[in-house]
Structure 1
Amino acid sequence: MKKIHLLLKKEDLNEEKIEAGSKIAVVLDVLLATTTITSALRDGAKQVIPVMDSREALEVSQSYSKTECVIAGELNAKPIDGFVYPSPSLISTMIKDKTLILSTTNGTVALRKASPAKRVFIASLINNPSVAEAVRQEKETDTIVVVCSGNSSGFSLEDFYGAGHFIDCLTGESLSEFDLTDSALAALLFYQARKEESKEILSSALVGRMFNRHEGDIDLRLAAQKGSVNLVPILVDGKFIISKKKVAYQNKD
């Protein structure tokens, strides 16, 4: 029986514990890093490099010419001088055949903290069904750690909802075959009770309300489109690329 753990914020992630054994990490930052990364790969990015902060982003960018990469980031939801704001709709127009170097307050930090796991997947509402199918195909692990990146207040409503959606996609009609922690079960039940309200949930969350104040509705609507992207980003040598494993799923939403 596979165990599903849910961490409610990046600060709960212990690098030593996640490295032990053969754990799979599935990281969500629905608004907005994991949605941005998934969208960028869909839109033709060669790869995405998550970094801890803007200084590391600039250091990494020195290995690329200006025509080979896009440097994007935010700090505490505010633009970083000289960086592209990490909006999926904005990056889509400039990312084809380039490397995206991405720095965000929560999502990329969570991804780096999760990197010691045996396998690290990026998940969001837009690609949860595909990632769930890819995780089901991983036979040599008995522990799946779902990580909510969280936000400035710690708990993130949109990540909790997204985690519930992922767990619902993963367990399907076979819930009895999985051992869920209480937090994982709570996320699943919350999602199942509000499964038709993805846009409303995202809009009502702390970060979603900020998007609404700053004309971010296009990215909110994109992030709320469950199962719209059949793509599995996976970490290889510190870079996220599209998994070559073929996945097929039935999007029941």
Structure 2
Amino acid sequence: MTKVHLLMKKEDIKEEKMEAGNKIAVVLDVLLATTTIVSALKDGAKEVIPVLHSSEALEVAKEYSQGEFILAGELDTRPMAGFVYPSPTLIRENIKGKTLILSTTNGTVALRKSASANRVYIGSLLNNSAVAKSLQGCTDDQTILIICSGNSGEMSLEDFYGAGHLIDCLLNQGEYELTDAAKTAFYFYRGQDDPYEVLLDSYVGRLLDKYNQHPDLKIAASKGITSIVPILMEGKVIVEPTLSR
């Protein structure tokens, strides 16, 4: 039986352990990086390039012509000069056919730190059920590692909830061996009724509420609205080729 384990924050990722064995990573940053990535691909983005910081984003942007990309980023939830804020609703307007170069405090860092896994999926409430369906092909010798990006060294309520949702989707489609950490997220998720209220009650959710970003919160809380399965391949996030949607 395939084992499912959970990491509470990006700082728990050990890159040498990620490379060892047969690990499949699913990275979650519900508010907002992975939600933004899934939403951008759903809205027609060509690809998403997750970077570690703004200077790397600017270097990557040099490889593209003007009009071929959107530069989006935040640092500690604050906008960065010269970057679009990484909001699904803002990016949606101009993303079709373009590359999204994305720099965030937690989610894009977690993705890059997970890159040495055998396969890296991008999850959110929007597409967890589709990711779970893709993971049905995992074998008993593989470990599914669900990674909550967290919030600057702390666990985050919204990622923990999102992890529980993904585990619920997995268990609806098959049998898995859950570690205690994975069970804890699953039981927490099953005890909640309203995803929007959970997200709104989180630290980042309250910040988004303060800045009137309710449309982004509503998108992030929308369970199962797309069957897109994004994966990280050679530094770029694309829709899973074998299951093109």
Length-normalised TM-score, structure 1: 0.94
Partner of 1:151: 151
Per-residue CA deviation, residues 146-196 of structure 1 (Å, 9 max, x unaligned), is: 00000135110000000000011012264xx322111100000000111x3
8 Å CA contact 2:2–2:139 kept in 1: the answer is no
Partner of 1:40: 40
1:231 aligned counterpart, secondary structure: coil
One-letter code of the match for 1:192? R
Length-normalised TM-score, structure 2: 0.97
| 1:1-253 correspondence to structure 2 within 5 Å | 1-139=1-139, 141-152=141-152, 154-172=154-172, 174=174, 177-194=175-192, 196-246=193-243
In terms of mean alpha carbon deviation, does 160-169 or 129-138 score higher? 129-138
8 Å CA contact 1:24–1:141 kept in 2: the answer is no
8 Å CA contact 2:133–2:173 kept in 1: the answer is no
Rounded to whole Å, the distance in 2 between the matches of 1:27 and 1:134 is 15
- How far 1:21 sits from its partner (Å)? 1.4
8 Å CA contact 2:9–2:153 kept in 1: the answer is no
- How far 1:246 sits from its partner (Å)? 3.0
- How far 1:62 sits from its partner (Å)? 0.5
One-letter code of the match for 2:122? I
8 Å CA contact 1:69–1:99 kept in 2: the answer is yes
- How far 1:237 sits from its partner (Å)? 1.1
Rounded to whole Å, the distance in 1 between the matches of 2:179 and 2:139 is 20
Percent sequence identity over aligned pairs:
57
Rounded to whole Å, the distance in 1 between the matches of 2:109 and 2:160 is 18
- How far 1:214 sits from its partner (Å)? 0.2
Unmatched runs of 5 consecutive residues or more in structure 1: 249-253
